[in-house]
């Protein structure tokens, strides 16, 4: 059921460069775009909190003081490479002592961090015009059960935990962060990501939260018997490799007492699988294809592109619903035709109340791609307030006087951990959601884009994404799936223009 749709709101998010993903996925799913409008409620939603101030459009968050400084604002154009990379001084935080993290230590760490902020804006802003691609996490979380099982095999049967929102975020921006920081150290990436995360606009965090939920649901579907079971032993985690029964874990459950994942059984070792990670094109802005800047894309009015709200910028690329895109054979790219309609500067932010994408809404046509921010439905509509991480939570982002967002402890209003949450329950919940999702996906009606019906024969355990990505290879190309990509098009091609900031936009 469900209503659906909504494509409107997505513009907002896109601005953070995530839109490309949407487009990409939309293209994949859609094969051919069919126009269709969903109703969307409220496109112009916005948070009163920070949207009203136009000042932010052109003024970045004030960098404050001394040390750090502007990362963002100044940059007029890419040329401004942000030298502001904080690392100049060395990492303050890095100094922190290793090892034992007692809470106390942890705290000190935090403090230290607070004292030496390095970021003046979130990564989605700071890195928006860097060449490094943002990984397509949407595609990632939609890996099919088959692919997931393969991964398990590669790991020797060990079923890893699904990534949480932050891990997904870190992963998505890892390359960009490295570029921005000009360092290849993942510890730095983690630190920066950690600092950036709370600064990200609600839309972005919500998107990642949603992806995390999808990931959990798909993970649960692929590994129904999986149960997280951390080793109590102090052993440092992974070690070994196992040999031993490796695969025991997954399917059937643990034969012996040791169940699954974790524990003793084989854990680990990272195989650096190439993992299929898709890169977003646009956002990505490959330097290799500067070409976009010139293409005459229908971009949203640039004058509105600025900082959408304090600390956040704009669109690195506009997003739009898949349905609004058309494929231009000449350039082999999808072009959207009505992006501007919603670009009212910021008017388009998702309401904080809830408009959270739900699995159901996502898949349908609308999309996720769209950004995920589906209009109308709320999580509660579908699942009640059940899941804990439901972001419906009120995360209202707040900003300090400098325009920087302030992290707020999220309060999971609806449900807090109170009793009812017992593990198995949760598992069930995931499965339930997954099913709901599948069910919605399998309904041709309004819920799904007609264009997808032909391809997707949803089975109990699969969904159309399985099909869509089944032919995806690690290098980002698809095989055996001509119908998804016209001609030579591959996921790595740019589907959308990369937004190129103009001087005016930047200051």
Query: Which residues lie near DNA (CB under 7 A)?
Result: 93-94, 96-99, 102-103, 109, 113, 160-161, 163-167, 170-171, 174, 184-187, 189-191, 193-195, 197-198, 209, 212, 216, 227-239, 261-263, 267-268, 270, 272, 275, 277, 388-389, 423, 426-427, 430
Angle subtended by helix axes 186-196 and 103-115, to nearest 10? 80
Cβ atoms of residues 412 and 32 within 8 Å = no
* Least CB distance to DNA at residue 275 (A): 5
User: Residue 115 or residue 237: which is nearer to DNA going by CB?
Assistant: 237
User: Residue 228 or residue 291: which is nearer to DNA going by CB?
Assistant: 228
* Least CB distance to DNA at residue 100 (A): 7
* Least CB distance to DNA at residue 279 (A): 13
User: Residue 170 or residue 323: which is nearer to DNA going by CB?
Assistant: 170
* Least CB distance to DNA at residue 472 (A): 15
Torsion of Cα atoms, 82 then 87 then 92 then 95, to 10°: 150
* Least CB distance to DNA at residue 249 (A): 10
Give dist(CA 70, CA 311) in Å, integer.
Answer: 11
Cβ atoms of residues 245 and 459 within 8 Å = no
* Least CB distance to DNA at residue 32 (A): 32
Give dist(CA 238, CA 267) in Å, integer.
Answer: 5
Cβ atoms of residues 26 and 367 within 8 Å = yes
CA atoms within 13 A on the CB side of 181: 27
The H or E element that residue 355 is part of is none
* Least CB distance to DNA at residue 72 (A): 20
Give dist(CA 206, CA 277) in Å, integer.
Answer: 21
Rounded to a whole number, what is the distance in angstroms from the first to the last CA of the chain?
45
Give dist(CA 190, CA 406) in Å, integer.
Answer: 19
* Least CB distance to DNA at residue 223 (A): 11
User: Residue 239 or residue 287: which is nearer to DNA going by CB?
Assistant: 239
User: Residue 273 or residue 353: which is nearer to DNA going by CB?
Assistant: 273
User: Residue 268 or residue 326: which is nearer to DNA going by CB?
Assistant: 268
* Least CB distance to DNA at residue 197 (A): 5
Angle subtended by helix axes 165-181 and 202-222, to nearest 10? 120
Cβ atoms of residues 36 and 365 within 8 Å = yes
Torsion of Cα atoms, 10 then 176 then 493 then 144, to 10°: -70
Non-local (6+) Cβ contacts of 26 within 8 A are 33, 321, 322, 323, 325, 334, 367, 368, 369, 370
User: Residue 103 or residue 487: which is nearer to DNA going by CB?
Assistant: 103
User: Residue 268 or residue 439: which is nearer to DNA going by CB?
Assistant: 268
Cβ atoms of residues 15 and 346 within 8 Å = no
What's CA 339's distance to the chain center, in Å?
21
* Least CB distance to DNA at residue 454 (A): 33
* Least CB distance to DNA at residue 85 (A): 16
User: Residue 245 or residue 453: which is nearer to DNA going by CB?
Assistant: 245
User: Residue 240 or residue 381: which is nearer to DNA going by CB?
Assistant: 240
Alpha helices by DSSP H, listed for 67-184, are 103-115, 123-126, 137-141, 145-154, 165-181
User: Residue 231 or residue 326: which is nearer to DNA going by CB?
Assistant: 231
Give dist(CA 3, CA 445) in Å, integer.
Answer: 10
């Amino acid at each position: 059921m469900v209503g659906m749709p909504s494509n409107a709101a997505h513009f907002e998010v896109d601005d953070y460069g995530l839109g490309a993903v949407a487009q990409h996925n939309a293209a994949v799913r859609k094969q051919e775009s069919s126009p269709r409008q969903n109703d969307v409620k409220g496109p112009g939603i916005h948070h009163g909190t920070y949207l009203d101030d136009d000042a932010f459009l052109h003024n970045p968050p004030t960098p404050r003081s001394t040390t750090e400084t502007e990362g963002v604002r100044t940059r007029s154009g890419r040329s401004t490479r942000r030298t502001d990379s904080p690392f100049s001084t060395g990492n303050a935080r890095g100094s922190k002592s290793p090892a034992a993290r007692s809470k106390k230590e942890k705290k000190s760490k935090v403090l230290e961090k607070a004292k030496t902020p390095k970021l003046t804006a979130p990564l989605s802003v700071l890195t928006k015009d860097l060449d490094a691609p943002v990984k397509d996490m949407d595609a990632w979380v939609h890996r099919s059960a088959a692919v997931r099982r393969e991964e398990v095999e590669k790991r020797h049967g060990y079923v890893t935990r699904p990534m949480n929102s932050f891990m997904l975020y870190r992963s998505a921006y890892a390359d960009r962060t490295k570029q921005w920081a000009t360092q290849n150290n993942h510890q730095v990436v983690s630190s920066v990501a950690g600092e950036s995360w709370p600064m990200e606009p609600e839309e972005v965090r919500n998107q990642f939260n949603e992806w995390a939920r999808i990931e959990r649901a798909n993970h649960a579907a692929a590994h129904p018997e999986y149960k997280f079971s951390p080793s109590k032993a102090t052993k440092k985690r992974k070690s070994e490799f196992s040999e031993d029964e490796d695969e025991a874990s997954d399917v059937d459950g643990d034969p012996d007492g040791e169940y699954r994942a974790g524990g003793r059984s084989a854990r680990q070792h990272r195989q650096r699988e190439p993992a299929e990670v898709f890169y977003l094109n646009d956002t990505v802005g490959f330097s290799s294809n500067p070409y976009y800047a010139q293409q005459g894309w229908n971009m949203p009015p640039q004058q509105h592109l600025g900082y959408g709200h304090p600390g956040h910028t704009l669109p690195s690329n506009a997003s739009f619903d898949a349905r609004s895109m058309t494929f231009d054979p000449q350039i082999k790219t999808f072009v959207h035709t009505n992006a501007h309609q919603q670009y009212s500067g910021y008017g388009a932010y998702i309401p904080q109340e809830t408009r959270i994408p739900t699995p159901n809404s996502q898949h349908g046509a609308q999309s996720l791609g769209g950004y995920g921010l589906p209009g109308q439905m709320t999580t509660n509509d579908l699942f009640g307030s059940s899941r804990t991480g439901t972001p419906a939570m009120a995360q209202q982002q707040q900003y300090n006087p400098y325009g920087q967002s302030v992290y707020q402890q999220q309060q999971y209003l609806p449900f807090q951990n109170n009793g009812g949450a017992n593990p198995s329950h949760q598992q069930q919940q995931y499965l339930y959601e997954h099913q709901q999702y599948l069910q919605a996906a399998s309904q041709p009606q309004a819920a799904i884009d007609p264009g997808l019906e032909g391809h997707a024969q949803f089975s109990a355990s699969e969904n159309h994404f399985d099909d869509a990505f089944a032919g995806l290879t690690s290098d980002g190309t698809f095989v055996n799936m001509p119908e998804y990509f016209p001609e030579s098009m591959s996921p790595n091609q740019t589907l959308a223009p990369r937004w190129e900031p103009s001087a005016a936009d930047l200051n």
